Amino acid sequence: MTIFSGWFPRFTIQNADSKGPWGGGGNGGGSGDDDKSGGPRNPWAQPPAGKPRSTGAGPSALDEFLKRARGAGGGGGGFGSGGRPRIPGAPSAGQLWAIGVGIVLVAWIGLTSFHSIGPQQRGVVTTLGRYSGTLEPGIRFTLPAPFVDVAKVDVAAINTDSFPDENGTESPNDKLMLTSDQNIVDLDYSVRWQISNPQDFAFQIDQPRETLRATAQSAMRAVVATATLDDAIGSGRNAMEAQVQQSMQDILDRYNAGIRIQGVAIKGAQAPAQVADAFKEVSAAQQKAQGDISKARGYAQQVLAKAQGEAAAFDVIYAQYKLAPEVTRRRMYYDTMEQVLSKSDKTIIESPGVVPYLPLPRVARSGPDATPVAPAIQAQGAAQ
């Protein structure tokens, strides 16, 4: 709007002037030095010979325009550097350079001086390459780069490294380990860890992750070398995991690595592939032997419990026998006869001279091939 407001009065001045820039009173513009018919003459051409330039005429509209352009835009005749015309009212080249430099400085300071640190992060600050502090979570301000550099470190994430590497960058032989009983075991395990000290993690060790993996392999081999094959593939895994975790933590603390080991897990333990079949047979035999031992122990416990029960019953009867020997003997006799006669066929006749029905014992018996005893009973009844 400022440019238009400056150009508008100049446009009206040009239209108000009845004379053109080459003089007035003509139909357009002659270009010769002197027009005999009274036409306009080029004001910049040399006057005819012997005639001085006229100075009595007032300034033309072009002169007024240039004069106003100088007044609005400064010196220089309305032209910028290189002779190109400059828009009146616009900033000069020096002002444009100053504005551009200011914008770059503001962007540089805003992008490199303010740092957003997340709740799970810490900012490690280095001033000219030297550690100068740690930034807590929030919006923090420092000197701009490259004077100050801030490295964000996640201290809450739980990192997991698997052995062997899931990407297959390690040799398969790296997981073969020798036990104390001269056996080879194939181990798959993992290590969980997190950053405990951002400063130490960033500056004390050049390659923290590679150092962690080397430490884990060394600690695992040292522990497996003190264990047997049965411990490695059986119930001794928990103790081995605890030993590896403690050994790794001690080594990393001596390195000032800034790493805390959260746990070690043995995911698989088996014999090498070359002896896998023989190892399976041995394992099956061991399991069968263990099953037979468990079965024998169960039977022994049953027999022992039965013997202990009989001994307790005998002690009870002996105590009663000491109190009343005759009664106890008769009672024992009756109990024994009851047990014996309860398993045999028998017919009891109370009244003399009663002859039982002959098929009575056969009917009483349930078996089809039972031996008949009716004749003997009948003969006994006749004798009576």
Per-residue pLDDT tens for 86-145? 566 667 788 888 888 889 888 888 888 888 888 888 899 998 888 888 888 888 888 888
The reply to whether 63 falls in a domain is: no
pLDDT in tens for each of the 384 residues of the chain?
444 444 445 545 455 444 444 444 444 444 444 444 455 555 555 555 555 555 555 566 677 766 766 655 444 444 444 445 556 666 778 888 888 888 988 888 888 888 888 888 889 999 888 888 888 888 888 888 888 888 898 998 999 999 888 776 667 677 889 899 888 888 999 999 999 999 999 888 889 999 999 999 999 999 999 998 888 888 788 999 999 999 999 999 999 999 999 999 999 888 777 777 887 888 789 889 999 999 999 999 999 999 999 999 888 888 888 888 888 888 888 888 888 888 777 666 666 666 665 555 555 555 555 554 444 444 444 444
Domain carrying residue 131: 114-154
Co-location of 335 and 284 in the same domain: yes
The reply to whether 11 falls in a domain is: no
Give the list of residues 6+ apart from residue 249 with CB closer than 8 angstroms, or none.
260, 261
Co-location of 265 and 169 in the same domain: yes
DSSP letter (8 states) at residue 333: H
Co-location of 315 and 331 in the same domain: yes
First-to-last alpha carbon distance for the chain, in angstroms, is: 155
Token pair recorded at residue 286: 């061991």
d(CA 120, CA 156): 5
Measured from the Cβ of residue 205, the count of other Cβ atoms closer than 10 Å reads 18
The reply to whether 362 falls in a domain is: no
Using DSSP, state whether 360 is helix, strand or coil. helix
Q: Is-contact 108 144, C-beta < 8 A?
A: yes
Q: Is-contact 214 222, C-beta < 8 A?
A: no
Co-location of 194 and 296 in the same domain: no
d(CA 100, CA 88): 20
Q: Which amino acid is at 90?
A: A
Using DSSP, state whether 339 is helix, strand or coil. helix
d(CA 144, CA 140): 12
- pLDDT value of position 240: 93
Co-location of 221 and 315 in the same domain: no
Co-location of 260 and 280 in the same domain: no
Helix extents (H) in the chain = 2-16, 61-73, 93-113, 198-203, 208-224, 229-233, 237-255, 276-323, 325-341, 360-364, 374-383
pTM score: 0.49
Given the DSSP bridges, would you call strands 176-178 and 184-195 parallel, antiparallel or unpaired? antiparallel
Co-location of 179 and 205 in the same domain: yes
Measured from the Cβ of residue 218, the count of other Cβ atoms closer than 10 Å reads 14
Measured from the Cβ of residue 104, the count of other Cβ atoms closer than 10 Å reads 10
The reply to whether 244 falls in a domain is: yes
Residue where the block lists tokens 């108000």: 16
Token pair recorded at residue 223: 């522990």
Co-location of 121 and 190 in the same domain: no
Co-location of 297 and 248 in the same domain: no
- pLDDT value of position 279: 77
Residue where the block lists tokens 């032209």: 79
Q: Which of 212, 236, 270 is the last residue of a domain?
A: 270
The reply to whether 88 falls in a domain is: no
Burial class of residue 152 (count of CB atoms within 10 Å of its CB; 0-12, 13-18, 19+): middle
Task: Spell out the SS3 assignment of 98-160.
Answer: HHHHHHHHHHHHHHHHEEEECCCEEEEEEECCEEEEEECCEEEECCCCCCEEEEEEECCCCEE
Q: Which of 215, 247, 270 is the last residue of a domain?
A: 270
Closest CA to 18 of 61, 57, 54, 55: 61
Consecutive H or E run containing 295: helix 276-323
Q: Which of 250, 270, 290 is the last residue of a domain?
A: 270
- pLDDT value of position 259: 94
The reply to whether 200 falls in a domain is: yes
- pLDDT value of position 324: 87
| Number of separate domains in the chain | 3
Return the CATH number at 259: 3.30.479.30
